[in-house]
Amino acid sequence: MSPWGYLIFTGWASLGAVLLPDRWLLGLVALEVGFAVIWNREGLRLLRRPRFWFLVLATAALGPFLFGDPDVGIGVGGLSVSATGLSMGLAMSGRAIGLTMAVSLGMAALSLSDLVALFERVGLRGVGFALALAMNTLNTLQEMATVTLQTIRMRGGMRRPGIALRLFLVTTVANTLRYSDEVVNAATVRAFDPGVRRVAPLPLRRSDWVLLALIAGFTGAFLASR
């Protein structure tokens, strides 16, 4: 699949996760899983992360206690929960899954050169490079923050939380600036100039048309059911 297909799918699925009625969210997630199985199985790694499911399940579990009026007893110390809140929590979890998978399956499959080429094709010079650099920096920042936190913990820094927090912030910011400077220097050495337009051919492939047909079918079924 070409970069256009991944970008179209990301935009469409993201809008669907936000705008679709609750009863259609399961169909959207199923379509995203089918997309991953056919075109981007690496994107399914998200579903194997315990932290992701913890946040999703926590959202669904807190819904009955945070939203709506308690109207259903659960038989534990006279505690009651809200059926409306449970429905809202499940819907929020479904939208979170749909939106996160849309970004993971689409944008994560694009390389830096793909993003640069896509944005330059629509006349936005330098935007693709900046976006790709930001996405790459986020992953690197997470790794650097984890290493910094482990280093402080191993040296007993947690005994003084205030000092440990300052050390963590200063070290993380310094490492991020150093990494960004190295990336800019590498781009300069390779003669990268955001003001120069380098339009690369990005034709639509057969798989892109198949994806567009599936998207059109799902969208048509939704409109017909309204």
Q: What is the pLDDT of residue 79?
A: 66
Q: What is the pLDDT of residues 8-23, one digit of tens each?
A: 888 888 888 888 888 8
Going along the chain, which residue ranges are E strands? 72-73, 80-81
pLDDT confidence of residue 194 = 57
- The pLDDT tens digits for 185-216 are 776 776 666 555 555 556 667 877 888 888 88
Using the structure block, give the residue that is written with the tokens 């944005």: 119
Six token digits for residue 213: 């047909």
For residue 176 the two structure tokens come to 């991020």
Strand partners of residue 81: 72
Sign of the torsion formed by the C-alpha atoms of 57, 92, 16 and 217: positive
Q: How much is the pLDDT for 123?
A: 66
Angle in degrees, CA 103, 104, 107, rounded to 5:
60
pLDDT at 176: 79
pLDDT at position 202: 63
For residue 186, what pLDDT is reported? 75
- 164 touches 157 (CB < 8 A): yes
pTM over 0.75: no
List the chain residues with pLDDT less than 50: none
What's residue 152's pLDDT?
Answer: 80
Nearest to 102 by CA among 16, 30, 42, 14: 14
* Phi and psi based region of residue 20 (left: phi greater than 0; alpha: psi -120 to 50; beta: remaining): beta
Phi then psi dihedrals of residue 80, to 5 deg? -120, 150
What ranges in 155-194 are assigned the alpha helix state H? 161-189
Residue 106 near residue 9 (C-beta atoms within 8 A): yes
